[in-house]
Amino acid sequence: MLNPVIQEDVERICKGNADLAAFDNQTLMITGATGFVGSFLVHTLLQSSLKRNGKTKIIAIVRNEQRAREMFAPYVEKGMMEFLVQDVCQPVRYEGPVDYVIHCASNAAPKEYGTDPVGTMKTNFLGTNHLLELGREKKIKKFLYVSTIEVYGTTYNVPRIGEHDFGIIDSTKVRSCYPISKKACETLCISYSEQYQVPVVIGRLSYIYGPGMKPNDSKVVAQFTRDVAAGRDIVMKSKGEQLRSYTYIADAVSGLLTVLAKGADQEAYNVASPDSITTICGMAQTLVELFPEKGAKVLFDLPTETEAKRFSLIQDAVLNPEKLETLGWKAEISLKEGLARVVESLSEK
């Protein structure tokens, strides 16, 4: 059974995103299907189809089949899901038809960037290559590559980053394993489209948060919301002065599906809420102020050398979502509402 807050979010997308009808009676392959973004995509696509008596089918690439079957049990019972149990670093084989591919699988936890940079890069590049090969073989209608704000690197004097603005990524830093490999994957997608006519679109997610973040998620927004929900002080490992774009998960998923339905071939789209821009410290302070009854405070503590290795090297990173908005998408959840919904979801049994 879905957390009530997540269920409300899924229903909100189903009511508000008319593009979902395009996926009725289609077969979609989704990697990273049990992850934060991937699982939300599965629930949204299949619940949307059910509301219209559609026959949408999801082929989920997962590594833990038992966990996936438990997570998606209602859809499995209805014959709406099939599982491929494998690592995306291995070639992907599937006998039946595939209409769309949504590639979400990636090491997206900061703690993994410092401890397994090689695995991070291999998962990103090899996985993307194998999925593109399958898309080429199946002559799919469209391939959605789920990318990240981090491909922009550190920009200077760019108040709102557009899709063709880029800064610096230092290739000699271990932490760059994630943004550099994601950026290379974008070029690989464009190359497959150009050379093999695989239709590709790219959705560049800003910093995403929401109910359903894993209990061990090491991103700051996940840590901060867990702390406040438990009545613990938020311990900052830096001054937290970086200004960044955040997007609530329901808005992010709606944006990605808009890109898949309407995005132009070989184009990238920023998925970011213009009303959810704050510093890391500002987010922490907002959470404390939203829930004064929790008694939490914002404290500061210098990071260890190991902790510092997994920190993002990016300073300010504010995305311009106007290109996506021209396709009819609009973010609906403000930062305060989104943070409140996360803490509420953590309180649900």
- Bridge partner residues of 282 (DSSP): none
Mean pLDDT across 242-257: 96
Distance (Å, rounded) from C-alpha 143 to C-alpha 8? 28
- Give the chain's length: 349
Kindly indicate the confidence band of residue 334, based on its pLDDT and cuts at 50, 70 and 90.
very high
pLDDT digits (tens, 9 = 90+) for 122-171: 999 999 999 999 999 999 999 999 999 999 998 888 889 999 999 999 99
Which domains, ranges and CATH numbers included, belong to the chain? 4-211+246-273+316-333 (3.40.50.720)
- Residue 205 carries which side chain, given as an amino acid letter? L
Q: What is the mean pLDDT of the chain?
A: 93
Backbone angles phi, psi at 121, to 5 degrees: -70, -40
| CB-based burial label for 311 (10 Å; 0-12, 13-18, 19+) | middle
pLDDT score for 114:
80
